[in-house]
A and B are shown apart, each in its own frame.
Chain A
């Protein structure tokens, strides 16, 4: 299902360590292309709900896969990428959670870190899927901030990722891993996302 053997752990590790913002890597070609149609069919069977707060607006599946088939995708993903990412990041990870997200026009996820001390999140990932309506907007942006009182500070550098199909971005979760998903202005942004845990 996944083209994990095509990735060079040493090269990814160098990429991980060289980032001006917090550590992250970008991998293209995550799914075996022959498996993508089947994955999309499985996701189509998952119930989706709208979620909104002061920080986000998006549609998403439940925190845990509802169907056995989606659970199998999550487990295969963990089996494929936990060992690789443990080597790349030097942070041992084993377990992963996974939800599917649909960002429609007007949807967004404002700047935040993902860090909540008791949850044990080690790595965050976003794996972009093909869309019947490729989105305008919806970029993931990672920020390096200059510390300031009252918050994480103003951004001094950032890296922006276009949600290209079959691309995955992975980053280290910490109290400074500030990132956002820019508003989708048109089209549909589809992704799988969640966290790796030790």
Chain B
């Protein structure tokens, strides 16, 4: 394992624009819930959204990249606007290794919007705002991620991420 590079990659233009647009439309009809605990995050979310075509495409991408028979453990759509964030101590940590996918479904890139991954507190990967990209990250029980604060100076900022946990 010491010679195997850790999976931490962001693939640009990995989602078909029509698929992303369909997913945005479907999510717009879903009831996003506001997350209540501001000491951990300010954002809205939908757990297990019904996006079978997109989910299947993302899973296929991950299996091809890792050459592993992965399956989906959980999905969550996360929406952030100006002033929103998710802190690293809010991140759900798995007891076993997993692969996390982030599909960027945002309509436009947002300045300084990113997801930061750390291992035992040490940064190792930054997922930048890039619509239609897919980021894949190998997670261990010591991995934590945060979604960076979106500045209120960008009043139109709108980030939409589909998060998949795979094993």
In the complex, chain A residues whose CB is within 8 Å of the CB of B149: 54, 57, 108, 110, 183
Q: Which residue of A lies closest to B146 (CB)?
A: A54
Could you say which residues of chain B place their CB within 8 Å of the CB of A150?
37, 40
A178 touches B38 (CB 8 A): yes
Contact A54 B116 (CB under 8 A): yes
Chain A residues closer than 8 Å to B37, beta-carbon distance: 148, 150-154
A134 contacts partner chain B, Cβ-Cβ < 8 Å: no
Minimum Cβ distance to chain A for residue B155 (Å): 10
Are the C-beta atoms of A155 and B38 separated by less than 8 Å? yes
Q: Does B153 contact A (CB under 8 A)?
A: yes
Alpha-carbon separation in the docked complex, A113 to B116 (Å): 23
Q: Which residues of A contact B90 (CB under 8 A)?
A: 151
Q: Give CA–CA (A137, B83) in the complex, Å.
A: 12
**Alpha-carbon distance A112/B38, docked complex (angstroms):** 9
Question: Do B153 and A143 have beta carbons less than 8 Å apart?
Answer: no
**From B36, B87, B152, contact of A148 by CB (8 A):** B36
Q: How far is the CA of A110 from the CA of B39 in the complex (A)?
A: 8
Interface size on B, residues (CB 8 A): 17
B40: which A residues are within 8 A, CB to CB? Answer: 150-151
Does A154 lie within 8 Å of B152, measured CB to CB? Answer: no
Tell me, yes or no, whether B148 is within 8 Å of chain A by CB. yes
- Does B55 sit at the interface, judged by CB under 8 A? no
Which residues of chain A from 142 to 173 have any CB-CB distance to chain B below 8 Å in the complex?
Answer: 143, 148, 150-155
Is B45's beta carbon under 8 Å from chain A? Answer: no
Within 8 A of B (CB), among A17-54: 54
Distance A112 CA – B151 CA, assembled complex (angstroms): 18
B38: chain A residues within 8 A (beta carbon)? 111, 143, 152, 154-155, 178, 180
Kindly state whether residue A187 has any CB partner on chain B within 8 Å. no
What's the least CB distance linking A112 to chain B, in Å? 6
Which of B39, B146, B149, B152 has the most chain A CB atoms inside 10 A of its CB? Answer: B39
A153-B153 contact, Cβ under 8 Å, with A54-B87, A54-B116, A54-B148: no
Q: Which residues of A contact B (CB under 8 A)?
A: 54-55, 57, 105-106, 108, 110-113, 137, 143, 148, 150-155, 178, 180, 183, 185
Q: List 25 A-B contacts (CB under 8 A).
A: A54-B85, A54-B146, A54-B148, A55-B87, A57-B149, A108-B149, A110-B87, A111-B38, A112-B39, A137-B152, A143-B38, A148-B36, A151-B40, A152-B37, A153-B36, A153-B37, A154-B36, A154-B37, A154-B38, A178-B38, A178-B39, A183-B83, A183-B149, A183-B151, A183-B152
* Given pairs A137-B152, A143-B38, 8 additional interface contacts (CB within 8 A): A54-B85, A106-B151, A106-B153, A110-B85, A151-B37, A152-B37, A153-B36, A154-B36
- A-B residue pairs, 5 tightest by C-beta: A151-B37, A154-B36, A54-B146, A111-B38, A152-B39
